[in-house]
Structure 1
Amino acid sequence: MTFEDFELDYDLLDGIDAMGYRNATPIQEAAIPLILQHKDLIACAQTGTGKTAAFVLPILHKIITTEVKHINTLVLVPTRELAQQIDQQIEAMAYYIEVSSIAVYGGNDGVTWEQQKRALKKGADIIIATPGRLISLINMKAIDFSQLQHLVLDEADRMLDMGFSEDIDRIVKELPENRQTLLFSATMPPKIRNLAHKILKHPEQINIAISKPAEGIIQQVYFAHDSQKEALLKQILGSGQYKSIIVFASTKEKVKSVYQMLRRTDMTTAAFHSDLKQEEREQIMQQFKNKNISVLVGTDVLSRGIDVTGIDLVLNYDVPPDPEDYIHRIGRTARAATTGTAITFVNEKDMYRLAAIEKLMERRIDPVPLPEVLGKGPEYRPDAKPQRHSNNKRSFHKKPGNWPHKKSS
């Protein structure tokens, strides 16, 4: 199905064509007609399927065919990176039409804060906002939602995971009841269905390949002890097979450690974590997009909210604690029907996490033998159980008689 089939505005189609869009993805094919029909929508789709365009395109079409020119659409997102990404995509799609947008998020300087307030007072057509910063603006009465037509919650599952449930409730109370509400989520746990029940009216539902990675991703695992990971990483990245690489680690301390190790090689490397200032993070991301940096080492903040084409390899230095995070991590490669590779290092403690990932995807991930020079790695044990760690000097067995008792008074 082509975008012409949706009968969108001709100037909007010019912008889509300039971006190289030709045929609609499954989520776009299913969602765009429903949004154009003013239906509330709950859509479950994996990352990298084109869901941003699925809601942006019909909303842009509706904005330019209506006489209301105030704040028309609010898009709520969990992170500043995703807010910036969506703002950039709107700017590209709306290149030939008169629609304005602004990304509103925290962690920036006073100048940016004032720019955001001025843009909101002028009445940007589309606001893409993180919940915390938006509530600050609401408290200052710096924003008028009286003419709002559309509310979009993107990556709603991650917003709830990050503790934004009360913020979302507060924001929704400020919005007109007569609006179209669109909820997009990668997963559909009960808490998302409860949220949808509260804020959507008779929604249509779309499910596109829930919790399944893109077909173009080649998935591999190496069973490696922690002591083998650095040498293995150097060997994989030093092969010259991959040009644009993201290395994920689960903590910013691990990110810094891997970054320092890779700095001693001839690969251009940057670390991306929460200790960096916002302008530093934006500069790093731009350099990575421009291919001036070949290896980006980061935490799960990178797994959502960035849209970089041509990433050859996603490498999990350690297994993410949540199987869904694995899906989002590897979704950074093989975007827009391209191909890519996802490699995961699994130590003896993370066997159970790998088993949970395989259960979620309903498939095994192909193991790759370690290079002989590194020696033998741990054996795969799909029945492995989580290992409990305690900082206490004493440990207690789960027998009633071994639990500590209070002293009697």
Structure 2
Amino acid sequence: MRFTEFNFHPALLEGIEASNYETATPVQQQVIPPILAGKDIIASAQTGTGKTAAFLLPIIHRLLEEDTNGQVRALVIVPTRELAIQISQHLEGLAYFTSISSLAVYGGSDAQNFVGEKKALQMGADIIVCTPGRFIAHLNMGYVSIKGLEFLVLDEADRMLDMGFQDEINRIITQLPSKRQTLLFSATMPPKIRKLAQQILIDPVEINIAISRPPEKIVQRAFVVYEEQKLPLVKYLLTKTPFKSVLIFCSRKQNVKVLTRMLKQNGFTVEEMHSDLVQSQRENVLISFTSGRIPILVATDILSRGIDIDTIDLVINYDVPRDGEDYVHRIGRTARAEADGMAFTLVGEKEQNSFAAIEELIDKEVEKAVLPQFLGETPAWHPRKKSGNRKPQRKFYNRKPGRY
């Protein structure tokens, strides 16, 4: 289905054409018509399915069809600053030829940015993309008018609840007009999301476009190692694997710092991304990475969702993710659009059970790659079975050099 078939406003169609959009994705085909019809939505859709445009396009169209009221008319709430920035940039591109105004409101900025946000909120931007905590800070000051709000979007709702934003979300919702259209997007649908949906949605249309498995075009490999072998293995993989852009995920920011320092000492051009960086530093690092000036980025899960960069051709999981959904999100950063990609996961002794659980979730046994001989003895792949209580014996063997 082509975007021209949705009968969007002519000014919006100009932005769609300028963004090189032609054919709608499955989630866009299913989500756009009920939003245009004024229906509430609960959609299971992960990053990479085109869900951002799926809710932005019909909202922009409907705002263009109505007269502005000088207040905030649409509110998009997201879990992280990075996602707020990305959606805001996406919005600016699509609405470039329209009169729609927008603003990104997120924490971690300096006082000058807060003042700028305050001024824009007082003037009444049409669409606000925000993180919950920062928007609450503005609401508490008493100058934000949301009585004329028409649309509420909760994006990555499951992650927001996991991050502890339940109270902030409830507080925001209590101040919104009851007559509004609410759109809830979540990668997963645990009971707490169902409960939230029952509280805030009215006769919603339910759509399921979730991607529970990584795309087949991603080449997945796992390396079974001892913890002390991870650093030299990463160096080896970066030396032997052709790439243009690499994203390395660590579960702990201390690992991010240690790995980044080691790679810099070995001559790699690399930067780090974690919560200890101030917002301006994080934005500069992300711009440098997306532009290609920095080919290697080491990050915590702060970048596992909501970052859409088409040029990443290799993802390395330095630590096994906490669950299968995180694994899918992490390796989904590669093989975007029509590109191919590779994903390597380093599985430590104590991480074997976790990785076996991930394989069960994605219904795929990831190939256990052969390590270079110089790394010496490596653990056997021997995760504990769920049905058994016997602790597996520790076995050793030498791997012969080969392809990974």
TM-score bracket for the superposition, by shorter chain length: over 0.9
Structure 2 residues without counterparts, runs of 5 or longer: 387-404
Cα distance in 1, alignment partners of residues 18 and 339 from structure 2? 19
Report the 3-state secondary structure (helix = DSSP H, G, I; strand = E; otherwise coil) of the residue aligned with 2:13. Answer: helix
In structure 1, the residue matched to 2:57 is 57
List structure 1 segments (4+ residues) > 4 angstroms apart after TM superposition: none
Residue deviations 1:39-64 (CA, integer Å, cap 9, x gap): 10001012211111110111111111
Residue deviations 1:237-269 (CA, integer Å, cap 9, x gap): 112511101100011100000000110233210
How many residues are matched?
A: 385
Cα distance in 1, alignment partners of residues 182 and 338 from structure 2? 28
Correspondence 1:367 to 2:368:
yes
- Is this contact kept in 1: 2:28–2:54, CA < 8 A? yes
Aligned residue type for 2:43: A
- Is this contact kept in 2: 1:77–1:131, CA < 8 A? yes
Aligned residue type for 1:6: F
Cα distance in 1, alignment partners of residues 379 and 208 from structure 2? 38
Identical positions, percent:
51
Structure 1 residues without counterparts, runs of 5 or longer: 386-409
Cα distance in 2, alignment partners of residues 346 and 250 from structure 1? 13
Cα distance in 2, alignment partners of residues 28 and 212 from structure 1? 20
Q: CA deviation at 1:7?
A: 1.5
Report the 3-state secondary structure (helix = DSSP H, G, I; strand = E; otherwise coil) of the residue aligned with 1:175. Answer: coil
Correspondence 1:82 to 2:83:
yes
Aligned residue type for 2:33: P
Aligned residue type for 2:293: N
1:266-281 superposed matches below 5 A: 266-281=267-282
Residue deviations 1:282-311 (CA, integer Å, cap 9, x gap): 100000011000000010011123222211
Residue deviations 1:80-130 (CA, integer Å, cap 9, x gap): 111111101001111111111111111111100000000011111100111
- Is this contact kept in 1: 2:76–2:129, CA < 8 A? yes
1:214-293 superposed matches below 5 A: 214-293=215-294
- Is this contact kept in 2: 1:311–1:333, CA < 8 A? yes
In structure 2, the residue matched to 1:202 is 203
Aligned residue type for 1:140: M
Cα distance in 1, alignment partners of residues 370 and 356 from structure 2? 18
In structure 2, the residue matched to 1:304 is 305
Cα distance in 1, alignment partners of residues 263 and 167 from structure 2? 41
In structure 2, the residue matched to 1:388 is none
Cα distance in 1, alignment partners of residues 93 and 22 from structure 2? 15
Q: CA deviation at 1:316?
A: 0.3
Residue deviations 1:165-201 (CA, integer Å, cap 9, x gap): 1111111000011100000011111110110010000
Correspondence 1:9 to 2:9:
yes
TM-score normalised by length of structure 2: 0.92
Q: CA deviation at 1:158?
A: 0.4
- Is this contact kept in 2: 1:218–1:340, CA < 8 A? yes
Cα distance in 2, alignment partners of residues 170 and 360 from structure 1? 35
Q: CA deviation at 1:322?
A: 2.3
- Is this contact kept in 1: 2:101–2:127, CA < 8 A? yes
- Is this contact kept in 1: 2:47–2:306, CA < 8 A? no
Cα distance in 2, alignment partners of residues 243 and 61 from structure 1? 38
Cα distance in 1, alignment partners of residues 217 and 90 from structure 2? 23
Report the 3-state secondary structure (helix = DSSP H, G, I; strand = E; otherwise coil) of the residue aligned with 2:355. Answer: helix
Report the 3-state secondary structure (helix = DSSP H, G, I; strand = E; otherwise coil) of the residue aligned with 1:377. Answer: strand
In structure 2, the residue matched to 1:174 is 175
1:38-57 superposed matches below 5 A: 38-57=38-57
Cα distance in 2, alignment partners of residues 10 and 221 from structure 1? 49
Cα distance in 2, alignment partners of residues 340 and 23 from structure 1? 23
Q: CA deviation at 1:324?
A: 1.5
Aligned residue type for 1:230: L
